[in-house]
Structures are given as structure tokens and as C-alpha cells.
Amino acid sequence: MARRERGSTRPSGDDRQDAILATAESLLAHRSLGDISIEDLARGAGISRPSFYSYFSSKDEVVIELLARVIDEVEGALAGLPGEVSSDPADRWRKSISAFVDVFTKHEAVAETAIAARLHNPEIQALWARSMQSWVDYTTKVITSERKRGAALDGIPAHDLAVALNLMNERVLSASFSRERPAIDRTVVVDVMLGIWMRSIYGSSAEK
Amino acid sequence: MARRERGSTRPSGDDRQDAILATAESLLAHRSLGDISIEDLARGAGISRPSFYSYFSSKDEVVIELLARVIDEVEGALAGLPGEVSSDPADRWRKSISAFVDVFTKHEAVAETAIAARLHNPEIQALWARSMQSWVDYTTKVITSERKRGAALDGIPAHDLAVALNLMNERVLSASFSRERPAIDRTVVVDVMLGIWMRSIYGSSAEK
DNA sequence: TCGTGACCCGACATAGTGTTGGATTAACCG
DNA sequence: CGGTTAATCCAACACTATGTCGGGTCACGA
């Protein structure tokens, strides 16, 4: 909000802003936010450090803008998911978990940066929370409808279950991508997560 | 490593080091590591800022020492857990999850700080990883033995399952304690986690 | 009492952030 | 086509925090 107060006679304004964002995303692929100075971002965009502040008031504001764009994509990905249960529940859940994984993969650097930066920045925290909330709401809705038709187990409140499973995905993916240890190999990570989702939601009967 | 090079004629040396650690832990209860300066730690321990460097080479070194002490406690907690299956599996898993939760709760500030600081410090990352690895190894061992006696489901590799469940606990607890949203209420968080563990390991038959 | 050495801190060097005010330049218009 | 305007730029400054160095200080043992 209020990230530029210049007028708009000159044509170069928005281009410069985009250049900063592009520089940030490309630098974040190789270094952490803390290792990138505002000077680096300014130089990358072809402007001086003070001029940076005409476009963003801090490094975090840049991350916020990058994250905001990813979140728009998240909302889109969710809208593309089936609202009703298809013939094969496992297939449906795999699709939605894969959608989550796809967003995470495609914007790996931004996601990792946001996860780290939210710890000291309430605004980033709020944005990330909004994104997670979208997934949780969707998950809760589907679990509830599966329970209504008698396919899914009761016992754990649907919302709590949805929160735990989505937080698990966030953490497990983060560990897999950043090659921490312990972690799950990238090649099987979706299968493992899906397995836990199926058993937690439906019980053992749902195993493949 | 090599965190003090003074000799040891004067008696005050180790006391000062402990004073720094105590100051750090108490300040971390209210502020994040980034909001605490070395000056704050030195003042709290009754020494000047330069003298701080006689005991620790950076703020992170202080965190490492605090975390190392917590980890010693973790190893102790694990040793106190039953190695064999008791009459009621759910009860046994509740005990081990509670042990994890207890450590996390008791050293909440250190745990949260370490989780945040590991993102930019490989040594903290390694220490935390070692702690998680302990839990994962224990979990893997128990799952395997439960499978051998035919009580637990096959399907997901035991190690992968153990990693995912332990990472879930880490993330879910962290969210509950720091009052993020979405999160699970503290009063039910153990029940929710236990429910997912039981269903993932045993299937629906294990529900209470 | 004096020497020794561990310990302490004043003062410095460095690096990054955020701000300011005057110079610069493009667009517009009379 | 030169003059006015206003957006844009950056050199230089102020501030904060980190990490370092070297000389001063104090307790102890001889």
C-alpha cells in the first residue's frame, strides 16, 4: 500500500518497479534475503540506492509484492479444483495436493523467503496466513462433504484436521526443497503426503 | 567451538558466561533474536559489549549453546520412553508425543528462536536437525516393530512416515504457540496430532 | 611491594539502512 | 522553439549495530 508517490508523466516508473521485482526474484534464487542488500536490488534495476525508496519502502515491501502475486495465482489454482467429489477420492486429493505443490515449486524462492520473513514481519505473516487459509478452507469444505456422504471418518474436527494436514504439507515441502535433514525425497514426497491425508481422512479402507 | 580463550585464574569467567545465557533466555521470552542487540546481552550480564566477545563470538553462538542444552534434555526424554509396546498403543504414542510437546513447551523461547535462526545459520540447522533426527529414529523404530507384529499398516515407508509426522508436529506446535492463523487451539493440539498419527500408522481400526 | 597476566572497556573501523535537498531531464505549452 | 514545471535522480549525511584493538586495571603470588 502506498508504495510510490511519484506522479506518472515519465514512462519509466513502473518499468523500474518491475525491474526491482525481477532482480529480487532472481537474486533470491541463489542467496537469502538477509544476504541481499538494497544496494544490490537498486544496482540490478539500474538505479541508485536512494531511488529504490521511491518504489519500495524496504526490502520486505519487495517480498510482500512478490508474495502478493503468488497469492493471486494460488486463488486461481484453487478455483480450478473440482468442487465436487469425482469418482476416485484419492485422485481428487492428489490433484489438490499437487496444485499446492505446483505453486510451491514454481515460486520456490519466494515461498521459502516468505516463510522465513514472516517470522519478523507481521504483514508477510498475514499474507502467508491468507494463502494457507484458502487451502484450509477448501480442505475443510471437502472433508465435511465427504463425511456427509458417509465416506470419511468422524472423530477429529474437520477444521483442525485440515489445518494440521496443510501445515504438514508446508513443512514437509519446505524441508524437501531446502534439502534439510531429516527430509523426504522429492520424488516420493507427494505420495507420502497423500498417503497420510487419505488415512487421516478416510481410514485404512482408503489405501490404494 | 572455541568460544573462550581466556585462561581461568579469575573466578568470574564461567559465571559471566552463564549470566549471558540467562539474560538471553529471559529476553527471548519477550522479544525476537533480531530485536536483541549484543549490547543488551552484555548489559544484562553486567559487562561491556566488547567483553561479550570474550565469551561468545556472536549472538548465534549464544543460541547454539542454549539449544545444545535443550538437546541434551531431548536425549534424556527419549531415553525415558518405553522401548517396547505397552498394552495400549494409543497410550504409548500419546506419551511420546507428549514428551516432544513437553520439551517444546518448557523451552518455548529457545525452540522458536532456533527454528527461526536455523534458516540463516548452518550450525543451528545442524543442531536442530540432530534433535529431530532423534525423534524420527525413535518413531521409525516403533513403527517398524508395530508392523512386524502385524498391528500397523504397510504402504508408506516407515522412515518417510516418521519424518512427515514429526515435521507435522514441529510445525503444528510452532503455529499453536505463536498464535499464528491458521492454527490449532493449544487445548486440543495433542489430541489432533495423536489422531493423525494413529490413523496414519494403524488405519481407522485404531480410532478411539 | 612489585610483577604478571587475565580481564575489562574506550575508541575505532566497517557495513547497512533510511533521509534530504539540490541538480537533472523529459514533457508540455505558449 | 525556448521556458516552465514537476517528476526523477543521486551525492552526502545521520544513525545503528557489529566486530576489533590496544592500553588500562586489578587480583594474586613471590
pLDDT in tens, B153-196: 999 999 999 999 999 999 999 999 998 999 999 999 999 999 99
Q: Does the residue B1 lie in any domain? A: no
Residue A127 has pLDDT above 80, yes or no: yes
Residue A208 has pLDDT above 60, yes or no: no
Percent of chain B that is helix, strand, coil (3-state, to 5): 70, 0, 30
Is B2 or B194 the better-scoring residue by pLDDT?
A: B194
| Integer CA distances (angstroms), A169 to A120, A174, A191, B56, B138, in order | 22, 8, 12, 37, 22
CB < 8 Å to B180, chain A: 125, 129
Query: Pick from A95, A100, A82, A86: which is nearest to A166 by CA?
Result: A100
* Average pLDDT rounded to a whole number, residues B72-89: 85
To test the contact with chain B by mutation, choose from A137, A167, A178, A186 the residue with the greatest count of B C-beta atoms within 10 A, namely: A167
Domain identity same for A131 and A95: yes
Residue A148 has pLDDT above 90, yes or no: yes
Q: Does the residue A124 lie in any domain? A: yes
Query: Is residue A3's beta carbon less than 7 angstroms from any atom in nucleic acid strand D?
Result: no
The reply to whether B62 touches chain A by the CB within 8 Å rule is: no
Domain identity same for B32 and B66: no
* A182 to B133: CB separation less than 8 angstroms, yes or no: yes
Q: Does the residue A208 lie in any domain? A: no
Q: Give the orientation angle of helix B59-79 with respect to helix B108-117, to 10 degrees.
A: 120
Give chain B's domain count.
2
Q: Does the residue A4 lie in any domain? A: no
Domain identity same for B113 and B46: no
* A165 to B196: CB separation less than 8 angstroms, yes or no: yes
Percent of chain B past pLDDT 70, that is, above it, reads: 91
Q: Taking all residues of chain B, what is their mean pLDDT, rounded to a whole number?
A: 90
- Pick B171's closest partner by Cβ from A153, A170, A192: A170
Domain identity same for B23 and B50: yes
The domain in which residue A101 lies consists of 58-202
Domain identity same for A65 and A43: no
Domain identity same for B85 and B39: no
The reply to whether A156 touches chain B by the CB within 8 Å rule is: yes
Query: Is residue B50's beta carbon less than 7 angstroms from any atom in nucleic acid strand D?
Result: yes
Q: Which nucleotide is nearest to B5 (CA to C1')?
A: C6
For residue range B10-57, list pLDDT tens digits in order: 445 678 899 999 999 999 999 999 999 999 999 999 999 999 999 999
Q: Does the residue B109 lie in any domain? A: yes
Domain identity same for A103 and A185: yes
b/e burial code for range B95-114 (CB count within 10 A of at least 16 → b): ebbbbbbebbeebbbbbbbb
* pLDDT confidence tier of residue A13, bands split at 50, 70 and 90: low
B78, burial (CB in 10 Å: exposed 0-12, middle 13-18, buried 19+): middle
Q: Which nucleotide is nearest to A11 (CA to C1')?
A: C26
- Pick B172's closest partner by Cβ from A164, A175, A184: A164
Domain identity same for A42 and A95: no
Residue B1 has pLDDT above 50, yes or no: no
Domain identity same for B32 and B67: no
The residues close to strand C, meaning Cβ under 7 A, are A 9-11, 37-39, 49-50, 53, 57-59; B 6-10, 12-13, 16, 47-51, 54
Spatial distance from the CA of A14 to the C1' of C27 (Å):
17
Residue B6 has pLDDT above 60, yes or no: no
Q: Give dist(CA B145, CA B149) in Å, integer.
A: 6
CATH number for position A161: 1.10.357.10
* Average pLDDT rounded to a whole number, residues A68-95: 89
Give the contacts of B135 (CB within 8 A, at least 6 positions apart): B74, B78, B100, B166
Closest chain B residue by Cα to residue A187:
B160
The reply to whether B202 touches chain A by the CB within 8 Å rule is: yes
CATH number for position A29: 1.10.10.60
Which ranges of A29-150 does DSSP label H, i.e. alpha helix?
A: 38-44, 49-55, 59-79, 89-106, 108-117, 122-148
User: What letter does residue B152 receive in the DSSP assignment?
Assistant: S
Residue A52 has pLDDT above 70, yes or no: yes
pLDDT of residue A4: 33
Q: Does the residue B88 lie in any domain? A: yes
Domain identity same for B94 and B171: yes
Spatial distance from the CA of B138 to the C1' of D1 (Å):
85
Q: Does the residue A127 lie in any domain? A: yes
pLDDT of residue B13: 63
Domain identity same for A85 and A178: yes
The reply to whether B68 touches chain A by the CB within 8 Å rule is: no
For residue range A149-191, list pLDDT tens digits in order: 999 999 999 999 999 999 999 999 999 999 899 999 999 999 9
The reply to whether B141 touches chain A by the CB within 8 Å rule is: no
Q: Give dist(CA A199, CA A62) in Å, integer.
A: 40
Spatial distance from the CA of A73 to the C1' of D20 (Å):
49
Q: Does the residue B40 lie in any domain? A: yes
Domain identity same for B197 and B125: yes
Does residue B118 contact residue B128 with C-beta atoms inside 8 Å?
A: yes
